[in-house]
Amino acid sequence: NVLYLPARAKGIANGAQVGAVEPVRVVPAAEAPQGRGGYVVVDIEVSDDVRLPDTTIAELRQNTVLGDIHIALTTPPDGFDSLLPRGGTITLEHTKPPVQLEDTMAAMAVFVQGGAVGQLQ
């Protein structure tokens, strides 16, 4: 869900900005492979001096409640044997859905109202 992804959003790998999002492309269901619905493609222009492993995980992330959404690129500590080529693709299998703010707020409400806060004291 890239609905709230701002233009030129940051691409951040392990805490450091490594690039910026290029325009997002929508692939309608009619043009998608058989059996797959429509989807979006997000291109990130990554700095020339940055190399990412082909096991990199991409996800939408927001560091604070009111902060901008960015693309977080998480690399495994031992996965640098095989690198993504320049212009390479992080496949759908290596993406994670964003954490929904509504889900987080609901979990916090249960935690607070359920007496868990009182149990901590």
Where are the domains positioned within the chain? Answer: 10-96
pLDDT bin (cut points 50, 70, 90) of residue 39 is: confident
Using the predicted structure, report yes or no on whether residue 94 has a pLDDT greater than 80. yes
Q: For residue 83, what are the β-bridge partners?
A: 53
Predicted confidence at residue 53, as pLDDT, reads: 93
CB 83: neighbour CB atoms within 10 A? 14
| Pick from 95, 3, 8: nearest CA to 43 | 8
Q: What is the pLDDT of residue 6?
A: 87
Binning pLDDT at 50, 70 and 90, where does residue 3 land? Answer: confident
- The model carries a pTM of 0.75
pLDDT of residue 106: 74
Q: Check whether 22 has a pLDDT greater than 70.
A: yes
User: At residue 42, does pLDDT exceed 80?
Assistant: yes
Mention every residue, 6+ apart, whose C-beta is less than 8 A from residue 41. Answer: 24, 25, 27
Q: Which of 36-50, 85-99, 101-115 has the lowest mean pLDDT?
A: 101-115
> Residue for token digits 């212009």?
87
